[in-house]
Structure 1
Amino acid sequence: MTAFLVVLVIILFGVAALQMSKIFKMSRGKQTDTSEIADDKDNNINGYLMLGLVLFTYLLLIVCFWKWGDVLLPKAASEHGTGIDNLMLVSMILIFIVGFFTLWLLSYFAFKYRGKTGQRATFFADNDKLEFIWTIIPVIVLAGLIIYGLFTWTDIMNIDTEDDPMVVELYAYQFDWRARYGGNDNTLGEANVRLIEGVNQLGVDASDPNAQDDIVVNELHLPVGRKVIFKMRSQDVLHSAYMPHFRAQMNCVPGMITQFAFTPTITTAEMRQDEEVVAKVQKINELRREKSAALAAKGEEALEPYEFDYLLLCNKICGTNHYNMQMKIVVETQEEYDAWIAQQATIAEALKQ
């Protein structure tokens, strides 16, 4: 890699030196050699190249949508996710419309008004009407989009506690996650990183009465249809709790508690039956079978079949093993959740062992 970079730097230096020599040559005054001056043939070539560029860009866009259009996330699995997806859709439609016509006009005008012998360009010192149009229209569009986004953000971040939400702490550290439930009282006990010792990986204050029934797990279970408030902490560096299928993300900042809330609407079992998810899983497993065949030929262990699961990921580059920082999320019925949580040991029980 280093050798490649060295060669690349040498090439770029050579190109820069060549261009500098041309500049010095042209700055010597009137020259009889006109080979460096563009003629009609050069202008025609560049004009047609601009048209070719816009057509190539459109073709590339179509190919990307056709080939990789199925790698997008499936439908949102949270109540607020629909609002996020709608905001994203409106933003992308505006971007594509503006980008499509802007790129075409840029390339078309570069072709139509390419240089020709004896033709002079018309120059406008100012044009109030044009300046008004290309200033006011973007202001109106962007203001509408920003206001729409602010209302969406406010609705998401306005946490209503009247619905008796469940409180869960997400604890990030290099390079893993832990979740802490508030127990029967649905109240998290006090915690401090200075209290981390032995099995007390989260630094929970065992002397706090609210901490006695807290439950620490390495797999997050959520009951469908119930709002969950996530309290987020980080032990070491800046992490980011990212749950893509729920359209949720919030930074985990050392020394402070951040929070985010959402209501899951689709269980893991239901999402696994979704047609779009089923197709994605089949495609992934086809790729895994091909890879496993290649690994088997080398005498290596084959890949296990993939099964869809919700995941909690870290969306900040937090260190060398950042890519592997994830935790499984299971969304299930209230009855299934109650049965699972009843089997988990509380902080008081864990500290006695």
Structure 2
Amino acid sequence: MTVLFTLIIVLFVAVAIWQLVKIFDLAQVSTDTSNGGIATDYDNKVNGYLMLWFLAFIYIFTIICLIYWGHMPLMSNAASEHGAQIDNLMIISMVLLFVVQALTQFLLHWFAFKYRGEQGKKALYYADNNTLEAIWTIIPVITLSGLIIYGLFTWTSIMNIDEDSDPMVVELYAQQFAWTARYAGQDNVLGKANVRLIDIDRANVLGIDEADPNAADDIIVKELHLVVGQPVVFEIRSQDVLHSAYMPHFRAQMNCVPGMITKFAFTPTITTKEMREKPDMIEKVQNINAIRAEKSIELMAKGEEALDPYDFHFLLLCNKICGKSHYNMQMNIIVETQEEFNAWIQEQQTFKESLK
């Protein structure tokens, strides 16, 4: 496929250069007045057939993309309760876009061919056509309104946090270029915090208010652990610039805005272990490790260290370009059973215990 893409790019570059040359020629003052610079029937016929060939190329290329990569937007790897809703909205949008693209491109190129210029034919001029204008205005309005309304209902259902479900409260703290998570502890209430209260000497790296009694049992970690089937509410802060908390498998994303707290909630539906055992995930990991093995051979030949084998993890990523090390801003997310989570959380220090 790399060779195919290279050939396509070379072809496009060649066509672009050819068009530039034609534009340059047209811009020159011509001494040939035999046809007054007007395209002949032959010119129009050639361009008409070229439009049909380009239409065929669009459809063939689209079919190839669907065969090789059509499964990617339809992957059923959502790991949260609302993930299926997001995926369904994406599928509907993609199908509509595909249908509209296929129809409009066909009409555009077919009309360019059918109504190409010919000697003796004169174009029919319409000052206006209320029926056509109503059709191509009303149909997009209805379609887009349906998508927007469906999207709003989907978003509302996702963001409607059910407090009766007793969700776990976790803070996600963003800074260039790392994530820190803070659990609310036994009282499930996060202590107050402000960046002006950051005290590196006392290991208060999040600016937590030490006088707030709710802060004493907070737990600060560098790896996020969640309980499968347990709703979780994220309160999100940023220390410096605009970041974005993005958890792709959970279909979750929320901006991290300095000076304010944003929220996002979801319920994990599958553990990390279960996701690793899925056949498509096993195949993906094997393919990645095969690539890493080849790269490791090259590195070792240069006297460098080999790459570690890859293992699947849910990830928290930054989805805003927040600086030169933006690409490295990520945190592992472990989804596990309640028993496994309890065993892990008991090993962590509370904020009060961590103060120097």
Per the alignment, residue 204 of structure 1 pairs with 208
- What displacement does 1:32 show? 2.4
Structure 1, gaps ≥5 residues long: 1-10
Cα deviation per residue 1:134-166 (whole Å; 9 max; x = unaligned)?
221111111111111110011011111110001
Per the alignment, residue 40 of structure 2 pairs with 39
Q: Is 1:242 matched up with 2:246?
A: yes
- What displacement does 1:127 show? 2.0
Per the alignment, residue 182 of structure 2 pairs with 180
Distance 1:257 1:68 in 2: 38
Helix, strand or coil at the partner of 1:204: coil
Calculate the aligned-residue CA RMSD, in Å: 2.2
Per the alignment, residue 61 of structure 2 pairs with 60
Of 238, 263, 266 in structure 2, the residue corresponding to residue 262 of structure 1 is: 266
Contact 1:227–1:261 (CA<8 Å) still a contact in 2?
yes
Per the alignment, residue 87 of structure 1 pairs with 89
Cα deviation per residue 1:25-65 (whole Å; 9 max; x = unaligned)?
48xxx982437321111111111111111211122222223
Distance 2:62 2:283 in 1: 23
Structure 1 59/19 Cα, relative in aligned 2: closer, same or farther at 3 Å?
closer
Identity score, percent = 62
Q: Is 1:225 matched up with 2:225?
A: no
Per the alignment, residue 8 of structure 2 pairs with none
Distance 2:63 2:134 in 1: 34
Helix, strand or coil at the partner of 1:149: helix
- What displacement does 1:296 show? 2.7
Contact 1:221–1:331 (CA<8 Å) still a contact in 2?
yes
- What displacement does 1:24 show? 7.6
Per the alignment, residue 78 of structure 1 pairs with 80
Distance 1:94 1:320 in 2: 38
Q: Is 1:157 matched up with 2:159?
A: yes
Distance 1:185 1:237 in 2: 30
Per the alignment, residue 192 of structure 1 pairs with 194
| Residue type at the aligned position of 1:166 | M
Distance 1:283 1:145 in 2: 37
Per the alignment, residue 217 of structure 2 pairs with 213
Cα deviation per residue 1:325-351 (whole Å; 9 max; x = unaligned)?
000000000110011000000001000
Helix, strand or coil at the partner of 2:128: coil
| Residue type at the aligned position of 1:32 | T
Cα deviation per residue 1:178-224 (whole Å; 9 max; x = unaligned)?
00000000010011111112211101111110000000000000001
Structure 2, gaps ≥5 residues long: 1-15
Per the alignment, residue 9 of structure 2 pairs with none
| Residue type at the aligned position of 1:195 | L
Q: Is 1:97 matched up with 2:102?
A: no
TM-score for the superposition, normalised by structure 1: 0.90
Q: Give the paired residue count.
A: 337
Distance 1:90 1:321 in 2: 36
Per the alignment, residue 350 of structure 1 pairs with 354
Contact 1:191–1:205 (CA<8 Å) still a contact in 2?
yes
Per the alignment, residue 129 of structure 2 pairs with 127
| Residue type at the aligned position of 2:272 | T
| Residue type at the aligned position of 1:301 | E
Per the alignment, residue 12 of structure 2 pairs with none
Contact 1:189–1:204 (CA<8 Å) still a contact in 2?
yes
Contact 1:51–1:111 (CA<8 Å) still a contact in 2?
yes
Per the alignment, residue 256 of structure 2 pairs with 252
- What displacement does 1:294 show? 2.4
Distance 1:93 1:289 in 2: 38
Per the alignment, residue 7 of structure 1 pairs with none
Q: Is 1:110 matched up with 2:118?
A: no
Per the alignment, residue 276 of structure 2 pairs with 272
Structure 1 296/33 Cα, relative in aligned 2: closer, same or farther at 3 Å?
farther
Cα deviation per residue 1:224-249 (whole Å; 9 max; x = unaligned)?
10100000000000000000000000
TM-score for the superposition, normalised by structure 2: 0.89
